[in-house]
Amino acid sequence: MDETHVVTAFLMEQGKVLLLRRSNRVGTYRGAWAGISGFVERKPVEQAYLELEEEVGLSKRDCVLQKSGKPLRVRDEALQRLWVIHPFLFQKISPRPVRLDWEHKEYRWICPWTIDTFSGVPGLTEALHAVLPLFPPEIQEGKSLLQKDTASGAMEMATKAVEIFSEVARHHFKPSSDYFEKLRFWAHQLAMARPSMAPVGNALGSIILTLRTHQKAQPENFGSPSPLLHLISTIRQELDASRKKAAKQLVQILKPFSCVITLSRSSTLLAAFRSIRKRHRQAIVAESRPLFEGRDTAKALAELGFSVTLIADAALAYHITQADVAVVGADALLADGSVVNKIGSHLLALAAREKGIPFYVGCEEYKRYPATEVSAFPFETANPREIFAHKIPNLVVHNQYFEAIPAHLITRIITDQGEFSPADIGRLAQKSPPPVVALQHPFQEEESFPESPGQNQHPS
């Protein structure tokens, strides 16, 4: 992988940051938003001043260097390029207008906390954060906590994310023109810590959606943190209620069957199993490598009184002959009717189809995700050392945590709102986008400046 050093200079004026949209005449990332950038051909700070002059027509007399950040390393697998980004922050001090060169076709002065809503070059948000801190340390600590948690299910992870967000919102409450934009940005950062777990983004998105509605209707009520914290607490309670409702719905579906086969660990499924333990006496559970959370499920079912057989993931097809129903939880429901869950779920669905037994998914509508096809879903990968710790030439270890179950292999999807076919989920997505979408758009709309090199335009 080639290593390439570049500078990225951010220009500020009146609290706004300048973003440039790359033209179709550049070699990479056409149409993407970026800072003022260029290849390093001299000292990075000297290169940054040169790019300011070439790309926006500003000299050293027009701007002052405020901060230089530590270089960032950003990998682009598609280009097989390792970018080493040298970030800088400048303050514009003259009335001289921005004048674009051929490398860019548009510019905007934006609130810094909306940078994540732009389709940018790789590492854009991280580069700005390196010179203009965008989130408090608690957000980074929260992201790290969520990323390291490999035991909790998706709904449990959502609850933890909401609790982290509540503490950050309380501790950093400061009524200002950009406070609510900061909240949206911080929520988005937490959601991106576990992108494959849809409830995390949907729970945080629900908070932002509700806050947007209430703050617009009654802005005077948000002079203290109490209304905000009450709102967050309400979403937290809704998470718990939806899990209980989904489990109750699932109980009715599983009643007629005598032996269930499943894998991994789902708090929703476990809640359902607690209610049917007197009727269900047999369960087959795959151990769910590489972290074996299926063992926790098997142990929990045994303690509930089930007669449990714990098996290797590769033995699913062999043991499914003993089961009369297959059921799994879910990490995400996609708009095309497919379901994302722990790796091995697709194999179980295939085995169920071959055996001719129903394959159910039990989950909450908090798990809806806006992707209309599997290729658009952000599948997480994990540390290869969880599978094989040794480095051997010509050996690549890939540790995939999640996979999609095609819609045609799913009998029904059982949620807190009822029983649905995969096609029903797609129709629901068209009528009502999942709440996570709220995190991807500014809390308040930004002002846009089209390309106009001959006119002096200032941020408002």
Mean per-residue pLDDT, 300-326: 96
Evaluate if residue 243 carries a pLDDT over 80.
yes
* Burial profile 151-177: b = 16 or more Cβ within 10 angstroms, e = fewer: ebbbbbbbbbbbebbbebbeebeeeee
Mean per-residue pLDDT, 346-367: 97
Contact 116, 124 (CB under 8 A): no
What pLDDT, on a 0 to 100 scale, did the predictor assign at position 272? 95
Q: What is the pLDDT of residues 300-311, one digit of tens each?
A: 999 999 999 999
Mean per-residue pLDDT, 339-363: 97
Evaluate if residue 387 carries a pLDDT over 90.
yes
Query: What backbone phi and psi angles, to 5 degrees, belong to 351?
Result: -65, -40
Mean per-residue pLDDT, 155-162: 96
What pLDDT, on a 0 to 100 scale, did the predictor assign at position 445? 58
What pLDDT, on a 0 to 100 scale, did the predictor assign at position 456? 37
Higher-confidence position of 457 and 196: 196
How many Cβ atoms are within 10 Å of 84's Cβ, its own excluded?
15
Q: What is the pLDDT of residues 141-157, one digit of tens each?
A: 999 999 999 888 899 99
Evaluate if residue 453 carries a pLDDT over 60.
no
Contact 439, 205 (CB under 8 A): yes
Evaluate if residue 278 carries a pLDDT over 90.
no
Domains annotated for the chain, with CATH where assigned, are 2-132 (3.90.79.10), 137-243 (1.20.120.420), 246-440 (3.40.50.10470)
Evaluate if residue 451 carries a pLDDT over 80.
no
pTM assigned to the model: 0.89
Catalytic pick from 62, 313, 331, 416? 331
240 is catalytic: no
Mean of pLDDT over the chain = 92
Mean per-residue pLDDT, 76-101: 95
Q: Which residues, listed in sequence order, are joined to residue 75 by a DSSP beta bridge?
A: 82
